Amino acid sequence: MRILLCGADGRMGKAVTELAHQRGDTIVCGLSLVQDLSGPFPVYNSFDAVTQAADVLLDFS
């Protein structure tokens, strides 16, 4: 499953990232107030910046 994760930099976002990895799911990108492009997936601060396709949006913001 391809996941767009809102709140990617928070405690729950980090837990979801680990769980997705264990399940074999892919987080295609994240959304956060703090844009961080150094992690395992790009993190944007606006929906307008997202170019990746996702099957589901998980919101932990």
Instruction: Determine how many CB atoms are found less than 10 A away from the CB of residue 1.
Output: 12
Q: Which amino acid is at 49?
A: A
pLDDT computed for residue 52 by the predictor: 95
Say if residue 60's pLDDT is above 80: yes
**Sequence spans of domains, the chain:** 2-59
Q: Given strand 2-6, what is the order of strands in its sheet? A: 43-44, 26-31, 2-6, 56-59
pLDDT computed for residue 3 by the predictor: 97
Q: What does the pLDDT look like over 15-50, one tens digit per residue? A: 999 999 999 999 999 999 876 667 789 999 899 999
CATH topology of domain 2-59: Rossmann fold (3.40.50)
pLDDT computed for residue 37 by the predictor: 61
pLDDT computed for residue 20 by the predictor: 95
pLDDT computed for residue 10 by the predictor: 86
